[in-house]
Amino acid sequence: MIILYGKEESPTVTNTKLSTPHPITEAVEWYKAHYESYARLAERAANLLEEALETANIPYHSVVWRTKTVTSYKQKALTRGFLQPRSQISDMSGIRVITFVQSDADATCRIIERLFPIIQTERKAAGSNGFGYRSVHYMAQLPSEQTTQPAFADLKGLPIEIQVRTLLQNAWAEIEHDRNYKFEGTLPPELQRRFSMLAAVLELADREFEAIALAIDEYVESIKAQAAKGNLDIPINTTALREYLLSKFPELTPLPLSPRFATRRDAEEIVREMLGMGIDTLSKLDAIIPPDFSERAREHLELTTPSGIIRDLLIIHDANAYFRVTRRQHSQPIGPDSLALYSSYGLDAELIRLQDAATTPEAFWREMRDAK
């Protein structure tokens, strides 16, 4: 599927720059004949880049690709006054990578520079005294190990543009692009000042997101270091829980053990349940884990999540206290795998199922009565 990003350029033509009809007509016919090749080039390059980012564990918001339409190609030749469009237009295929923070954008750039032969690099940024559009643009080609394959041999030497931006840099680019359509030329001083202030706010926000991301990474590393030393006197939060479980139960990964909570609500629920049972540090959680829990979990559970493991541990530790505290406020019902796990510890799985189905004590006794 071809994903188009951005807006088409305005078809305004100035007589002083208008190319002669013959070179444009010839170039347009040539591009029509080669359009599919450029579409395949964009798709293949985007797939390679996504695979490389995934392999390197570099977080990114999106990787989109597009192929310039024949109409857009013609309009660019006309509006820019190109006399030789075939040699002057090179962005027929394009990829845009949008990352969350600047460090991820920098890491993405390093991947691109290793993966593709780079023809040209352009780092677009506002001057030191102003604010504005920021982005890294590469003009690249497919690597030779790709173009030596028969399926991609016709793509050898074709150029592709790759843009790398953060989410907020992309937001600014879209705003600025839209302004250029609404108001061509110079803005009045007061409007220009307000526009520059907006750009400054976005740049500051981009830097603060980067700082927060770095602080989170440092916090995660500190948890790992403390856990490795046996110091678990760490307050309960979702980041601490995730890192603790991944280090405590690495053998559960084949289930698989998902490294993330399913949703924000899921994460908030399990923290609330733990605090309600008086478990407010990792050391207190560690103290209630049965020595053989990992072995029994592998035997009875097909897959699990951080919240699923913690909820199982809380119920195995004290099911009555768990349901008294939670009143069945969690969003996910207890599954048959977990019930089998509870039975292996000598708990009454049917009673737990009934407690889980009841949202109030009255409902519980109704469930008990109906079950008889």
pLDDT tens digits, 198-243: 878 888 898 999 999 899 889 989 988 888 888 899 999 988 888 8
Locate tokens 């292996």: which residue? 344
Q: pTM score > 0.75 for this model?
A: no
Residue 353 confidence (pLDDT) above 60:
yes
Q: What is the pLDDT of residue 287?
A: 96
Residue 297 is which amino acid?
Answer: A
What superfamily would CATH give domain 21-208?
Beta Polymerase, domain 2 (3.30.460.10)
Is 349 within 8 Å of 304 (Cβ atoms)? Answer: no
**pLDDT, mean of residues 316-338:** 81
Residue 76's contacts (CB-CB under 8 Å, 6 or more residues apart) are: 9, 68, 82, 85, 89
Q: Where in the chain is the domain with CATH 3.30.460.10?
A: 21-208
What is the pLDDT confidence band of residue 372, given thresholds at 50, 70 and 90?
low
Residue 26 confidence (pLDDT) above 60:
yes
160 or 364: which carries more pLDDT confidence? 160
263 phi and psi angles, rounded to 5 deg: -145, 170
CB burial of 73-83 (b: ≥16 within 10 Å; e: otherwise) equals bbbbbbbeebe
**What is the four-CA torsion angle of 99, 100, 103, 104, rounded to 10 degrees?**
-40
pLDDT tens track for 239-296? 888 888 888 888 775 555 566 677 788 888 889 999 999 999 999 999 999 999 999 9
Which pair of tokens denotes residue 302? 């097909």
